[in-house]
Chains A and B, each alone.
Chain A
Amino acid sequence: MTELDLSIETERRGRPVPSRRRRGRRGAVTAGLLSGPVSYLLVFFVVPVVMVACYSVGLLTLLPQDHYLSLRAWHDFLFGSIYMGVFWKSVRMSLGVSITSVLLAYPVAYLLALVAGRRKYTLLLVIVAPFLTSYLLRVLAWRVILGEQGVVNSFLKLVGIAPQGWLFYSQFAVYLVLAYVWVPFVALPIFVSLEALDLSLLEASNDLGASRWTTFRRVTLPLSMPGVIAAFVFVFIPTLGEYVTPLLVGGPKGFMFGNGIQNAFLQGFDWQFGSAMSMFLIGAVMVLMAVFGRFVSFRSVSE
C-alpha cells in the first residue's frame, strides 16, 4: 500500500485529511501519470474528431474559396434519398456478422480455455496466425475459393452442378469474409473471460447434479457474458464503417455506409458531406456503446 493509497483511505474513513503539501504531491503524480494517455487521446482522437465536426459544418474546408458556415451537408445527408437506408443496411450487416462471429468463436474459445489444457496457448497462436498475413490478401484469397473459377464452383462443375454466381460478388460473400476475418478477434475476449472462470463453480454445479448442458447454460454462459458482449462490440463497431471488404467482394450489391464516406471524400471530393456522414457514424457508435455499457461491466471484463 503506497503513501497515496493510505491518504485516500484516511479521507474515506473520516479521519484527518492529508496535508496541503501531500495533496499537491498526489496531484502532481496523478497528472504525470495521466498526461501521456490524455495527450495521446487529445492529439489523435479528440482534435481530429473536432476537426471532422468543423468540416461537416463548413467551419473548416479543404479548398480555401469554399470557406463558409453551412448545415447543407447535414441536411443533404439526413434528408437524402439513400444514406439513412444504407446506414441501416450496414447496421443489419454488422449485426449479422457480429452474431455469426460470436457463435463461431464461442466453441473455439471454450475449447481453448476449458478443454485444451496445457496446449491452449499453442492453439491460441494457431488461431492468431492468419493475422501474420495481410488483411487484403486474406480477403482476396476468398476469390480463389468462391470465384466463378474458384475451388467451390470447380468442384460443383465436377459433380455436374451449375456454378453458383451468388457465392462471390454478393452480400453473402461480404458476410462470410467479414465473419472469417473477425472470428479470431472475437475468440480472444471470450477466451479471456472463460479462462478467468472459477472452475470450482463448475465442479459444484456437477456435484449438485446438474448436467453438462445445464452447467453450461446456468453457470458458464452467464459468467462469460461480459466477454461475449465485449467481443460482440469489438466486431460490431468496426464493421459498421467497413468499406474495403464490401468493395472487394460485395459486387454490385456491396455498397455500405463506409463506402459512402469513402466516396464522398475521394470520388466526390466533398469533405463536408463525408464529414457529416463520419460524425453521424461516430455519434451512432457512441450511442451503441452507451447501450452496450448498460449490459456489460467493462471492469469485470478487464479483470
Chain B
Amino acid sequence: MRSELDAVLRSSLGRRAFLKYLAIAGGTGVLAACQKNITAATQGGGASATETRPPLESEPGVLHAYEWAGFEVKPLWRSYAAKGYPDPKFSFFTNTEQALAKTAGGYTWDIVHPEVGYVQDYFNLGAVQPWDTSLISNFPDLNPALEKAGQLDGKQYEIVTDWGYSGVIIRTDHADPSINSYSYLFDDSLAGHISWFDTPWILLQAGLVLGVESDIFDMTPQDLETCKNYCIQKKKNLYNIWVDFTQMWDDVRQGNVWAAYAWPDAWVNTRNDAPVAYIRPKEGVLAWGEGLMLNANTENYYHAHEYANAWTMPQTGLWVINNYGYGHSNLKVDLSKVDPAVVRAFGLDDPVGNLSPPAALMDRYQPQRDAYNRAWDEVKAA
C-alpha cells in the first residue's frame, strides 16, 4: 500500500491536481465567508422591528435563550412558565466576546444576555432590534440609571436586568476600610497580598486612583500610557491575577489575599468565614449591568417580551439578590426580605443614586477596546 501512496506523492500530476483542488476548496471557503460578511455589512446595524407580526399564538413558541450558565433556572422565568408557555431552550456562553463571535458567525437565538458595554457591538452586527417596552408591564418599575445604559438612539435595545460592582474586597484585619479607594489594589503596604482580576478594567481603576483627566472608558493615549506604567510599577505587589473567582474567594478566606478586585458576590460568599469588607471606592465604583437583547429576526417576538417581563418581576429580583448576590433592576423588590447587610453593601436602599455618577461609573461601549487590551497585555507581560 505504501508504494501506491509513494507513487501518487511522487507523481507531479498528483501534486498539481492536489494543489489545484486545495486552492479551489480554500478559495471557495474564503469567498463564502467573505460573502457572508459583505451580506451582513450591507444589511446594516440594528434592524428595525417588522411592522406586521404574527400574533403570539402563531409564533413557534419555544424561545432560544443564549445565556450565562446558571441563568437557566426556573425561578428566573417562573411567571413565564406559569402562563403556560413552553419551556425555553437554553444554550450557554462563557463570556460575552464568545457569544458575540458566535453570533457574528451565524449562530442564532431569540434572546441573549450581554453586558451593557456590548450593546453597541450587537447593534453594529445588525443582530438585534429594539424592544417594545409597552409590552413589558414591569418596565416602568426598572431603574432608569440602568435602563439608560441599554439604549441606543433613544431605543431600548437591552432590558437591563441584573447588575453589580467591580469594587474591592479587603481583609479588614490587614487593610483599613476607611481608606475606601481603589488604591488598595496598588498599595505597597499590602505587597504580596493583592489580587487583580485578568481584565483591562484594572487600567480604569488605576486611572481613577491617578485621577486622569480624560474619560476612563475612552482615555487619551497619554492617559492610557500613564495608567499602564502605573500598573506595571505596582505589579510587584501582586499575589496573583485571578481568573477563577472561587479561587479568589479561597485566597481571601485563607488570608493569602488582603485586597482583590471583586464583585459583591465575593463578599456575600466570604463574609461568614473571614473579616472582610466590600469597598465601593470614593473615586466612583465601576458598575456593570447586563440584560436581555432581542434578535433582529426572532420568530418569537411576543414570547420574548413575555420572557423579559418574567425576568423583570420584583420576585425574580428578590431571588437574584438573595441567591446570586447580584443587584436587580426592578426598584420594587421587597428589601425587607433581603439581609440588611447586603442592602448596605449593595447600596440597595438608593439604587438610582448609587448607580449614577459620582457614586458609580456605569460600564459602556469602549471604542478603543483593542488599545486597552494591548496595554493590559503589556502590564501582564512586564
Contacts and interface: CB of A to CB of B under 8 A. Distances in A.
B238 A33 contact: no
A45 to B, nearest CB: 10
B126 interface: yes
A145 to B, nearest CB: 15
Given A5-B4, A59-B34, A148-B254, A270 B370 contact: yes
Contact of B373 (A254, A255, A263): A263
B293 to A, nearest CB: 16
Interface stretch (B22-30, B72-80, B157-165, B311-319): B22-30
A42 B101 contact: no
Given A247-B243, A267-B376, A64 B37 contact: yes
Name the residue in B5, B7, B45, B104 with the highest tally of chain A Cβ atoms < 10 Å from its Cβ: B7
A273 B198 CA distance: 19
B104 to A, nearest CB: 5
Contacts of B200: 267-268
Interface in B298-337: none
A208 interface: no
Nearest to B27: A50
B4 A61 contact: no
A59 to B, nearest CB: 7
A85 B381 contact: yes
A44 to B, nearest CB: 11
A67 B241 contact: no
A265 B373 contact: no
B219 to A, nearest CB: 15
Interface in B351-382: 369-370, 372-374, 376-378, 380-382
Given A65-B41, A255-B377, A269 B97 contact: yes
Nearest to A266: B97
A158 B3 CA distance: 66
B381 A5 contact: no
B4 A4 contact: yes
A33 B5 contact: yes
B240 A252 contact: yes
- For the residues of A in contact with B, the DSSP-based class is helix
User: Interface size class for chain B?
Assistant: 35 or more
A151 interface: no
Given A67-B38, A149-B254, A269-B370, A47 B8 contact: no
Interface string A80-98: 1111011001000000000
A151 B121 CA distance: 47
A271 to B, nearest CB: 8
A263 B369 CA distance: 11
A264 B97 CA distance: 11
Contact of B97 (A43, A81, A265): A265
A42 B26 CA distance: 7
B373 A264 contact: yes
Nearest to A29: B4
A38 B21 CA distance: 10
B378 A30 contact: no
A46 B37 contact: no
Contacts of A4: 4
B137 interface: no
A137 interface: no
A248 interface: yes
Contacts of A148: 251, 254, 256
A8 B10 CA distance: 12
A26 B13 CA distance: 13
Contacts of A293: none
Contacts of B101: 62, 265, 269, 271
B199 interface: yes
A169 B374 CA distance: 22
Given A51-B33, A67-B37, A268-B374, A252 B26 contact: no
B100 interface: yes
Contacts of A59: 30, 34
Interface string B189-202: 00010000011100
Contact of B381 (A38, A63, A82, A268): A82
Nearest to A251: B240
A270 B25 contact: no
Interface string A116-139: 000000000000000000000000
A60 interface: yes
A30 B370 contact: no
B33 A60 contact: yes
20 contacts: A8-B7, A26-B7, A42-B21, A47-B25, A47-B26, A50-B30, A63-B124, A63-B125, A64-B124, A65-B41, A65-B45, A76-B374, A83-B377, A86-B381, A143-B247, A148-B256, A252-B238, A255-B380, A269-B100, A273-B370
Given A8-B4, A42-B22, A62-B104, 7 more contacts: A5-B4, A47-B30, A50-B29, A62-B100, A64-B38, A268-B369, A273-B370
Interface of B: 3-5, 7-8, 14, 18, 21-22, 25-26, 29-30, 33-34, 37-38, 40-43, 45, 95, 97-98, 100-101, 104, 121, 124-126, 192, 198-200, 235, 238-241, 243-244, 247, 251, 254, 256, 369-370, 372-374, 376-378, 380-382
Interface of A: 2, 4-5, 8, 26, 29-30, 33-34, 38, 42-43, 46-47, 50-51, 54, 59-65, 67, 76, 80-83, 85-86, 89, 143, 148-149, 165, 169, 247-248, 251-252, 254-255, 259-260, 263-271, 273
